[in-house]
Structure 1
């Protein structure tokens, strides 16, 4: 029953987002003509806010944009991934010339070389000048466009940090060229590739062979996942691959789960709070943007601190809660918890009581605060 409900939520989410899309035509000097764009801003986007968002460029935006934005927004709603700014490039009428390659060296030539430069020299600078985006960029493509996105990896400094290649129609020598390039990467790159049992046969054969090559790469900077879906064709595998790819790319970003709590938080030598600090520093280093502390992680660190009787960690995480959520019951609850564990019952009661006037959160409501107050009074 859970899968149909999740699918329904995703479809409703995508429908809402479509109504919020900005449609505009971009006149390119590199191509010599215009390209139609679809742009989706993060929920609650504020140009005055300094928050920077990952940029997702979607090739074949005519049909690939909507499943990408639907999946991204759905996972961002649950705080599994960051809010992203997504740009789709419509290519229905120009696809062949945009994505073609030379029969001599199998690299972009003439029209496709111009399209390649359009993205790097015009589109991305334009988006960066107009919106708050980070240097963490993702590119998504399907069959011909899934092959085309690989060319950005061959730049001295790859333009994108993450590549989602769905049933790629790979150019000759692409698999061996990718292997040679990816072995020498000196910065982190995510690469996702997918095919399926009912994919177009010639594409499936080449994709499976490419996977064998990429699987041999021994480079800590290369983060790779391959999926070979069952009971899916060339088109339906897109709906299966996109959420898998997004999940893989943002693994480090995800909230603390049960296994991370048990295996890492509770056993971290520096204590729960220092683990929290390191986790958020690693996210910023890895992705190039800051993650705002979330309630789930504060709750996990506070619980671990209490379990380990680590009062310093509990005090520090309660201060984070107060700073990040001043208008929420979160701030009062964890400050109250700290003073309760310290034995300062009067101060703990003051904080629990003050929380009654604040907004409830996902995990904390009025009844929880009242229960704490009754316990302490008894």
Structure 2
């Protein structure tokens, strides 16, 4: 069976293209804060065939040009290497002279602190503003450094519906007598479908002071019953100070976030699904359950489905399971320019079942699928795909004699 050779050939069509992002400098008039707030929106460059795709939104606190561009560049690079994950719209929320007010919870012993109002500004004014102007999903990732990270911890404790995922670099969790730690302890969640990444350095102040808060948070997680759906990663950085923690942590946090959010489940999990009578039903249930965390329904792309699901069934000698998952994948990816590959998976499964007629019909469907998306291909890639289908047809016919 040639099923596994296709695994290698597929990558020839998965070309990498680095696009130019656009920065939009905008303002939002806030009735809640009684201010005009400045935002920097980084719009990703998408290929024309993906121009209608919805984007996840990343909200960067302290979102000046340098910070927002750093976050956007990391996410764009990851997506350019794997364009089957969603694109990201990055929104930087500027807080030039208002950080202490915006990011800290009010306290009788301190004049500053209006975090509740700032979160209301985000939920009631900023989020609707962005969602009415850009084609976005319901998935929101919050990114903050120092007090920006502190605000995100406050949101996690007090208004966890605002964000699906959090990246907090060197947050201050100990101000106001450990207020944020006590809030998380009081929350005592049993189920919390969230991804959280925290990092902390070990060099100089305020980092060494903040380190105590991170260790206490780590201890809270360690000594509490497992929180269903909650994924937390804590990075203890060595020889890293407060300002260095952001650039050092960002690549690590993006890696963990993408792995958890869009990575393929481990082989043991997929093998358990393969053991089910209906492989496609088990697959659907897994990704439907992920919707609680992501905020929208997500399925892996054509290449992922072929390489990690169809190939798994093929390697374990289960052609009928290939047909189950391939039929579902074909429905999911209607209109995808590479959907023809899924029909080739079906053709090879039928060939393994000695059903030459059905195998050739699947090849015919692959050719029709390819031809329907002719305009999405350059000349060489289209010719390669056409030859791939014709080669499989010849092999099936030869084996059938």
Q: TM-score, normalised by structure 1?
A: 0.79
**Structure 1 unaligned regions, length at least 5:** 1-11
Matching residue of 1:217: 224
Aligned partners of 2:20 and 2:44 also within 8 Å: no
Aligned partners of 1:321 and 1:330 also within 8 Å: no
1:283 aligns with 2:290: yes
**Residues 113, 344 of structure 1: CA spacing in aligned structure 2 closer, same or farther, 3 A cutoff?**
closer
Greater Cα offset, 222-231 or 309-318:
309-318
SS in 2 for 1:184: coil
Matching residue of 1:198: 203
**Structure 2 unaligned regions, length at least 5:** 1-16
**Residues 367, 74 of structure 1: CA spacing in aligned structure 2 closer, same or farther, 3 A cutoff?**
same
CA distance in 2, matches of 1:107, 1:177: 21
Deviation per CA, 1:56-98, whole angstroms, max 9, x where unpaired?
Answer: 2110101321222222223333157532332111122332333
Aligned partners of 2:192 and 2:228 also within 8 Å: no
SS in 1 for 2:59: strand
Matching residue of 1:130: 133
**Residues 29, 374 of structure 1: CA spacing in aligned structure 2 closer, same or farther, 3 A cutoff?**
same
Q: How does 1:44-63 map to 2 (within 5 A)?
A: 44=46, 52-62=54-64, 63=66
Q: How does 1:159-174 map to 2 (within 5 A)?
A: 159-170=162-173, 171-172=175-176, 173-174=178-179
Deviation per CA, 1:267-292, whole angstroms, max 9, x where unpaired?
Answer: 43315433422332222243221224
CA distance in 2, matches of 1:106, 1:249: 35
CA distance in 2, matches of 1:73, 1:273: 31
Aligned partners of 1:25 and 1:34 also within 8 Å: yes
Q: How does 1:112-127 map to 2 (within 5 A)?
A: 112-127=115-130
> Out of 244, 250, 256, which is 2:252 matched to?
244
Matching residue of 2:67: 64
1:366: how far off?
Answer: 5.2
**Residues 300, 198 of structure 1: CA spacing in aligned structure 2 closer, same or farther, 3 A cutoff?**
same
1:87 aligns with 2:91: yes
Matching residue of 1:7: none
1:195: how far off?
Answer: 0.8
Matching residue of 2:323: 315
Matching residue of 1:337: 348
The aligned length equals: 358
**Residues 176, 141 of structure 1: CA spacing in aligned structure 2 closer, same or farther, 3 A cutoff?**
same
Greater Cα offset, 28-37 or 301-310:
301-310
**Residues 107, 72 of structure 1: CA spacing in aligned structure 2 closer, same or farther, 3 A cutoff?**
farther
Aligned partners of 2:54 and 2:87 also within 8 Å: no
Aligned partners of 1:185 and 1:222 also within 8 Å: no
Greater Cα offset, 309-318 or 29-38:
309-318
Aligned partners of 1:179 and 1:217 also within 8 Å: no
CA distance in 1, matches of 2:161, 2:300: 30
Q: TM-score, normalised by structure 2?
A: 0.75
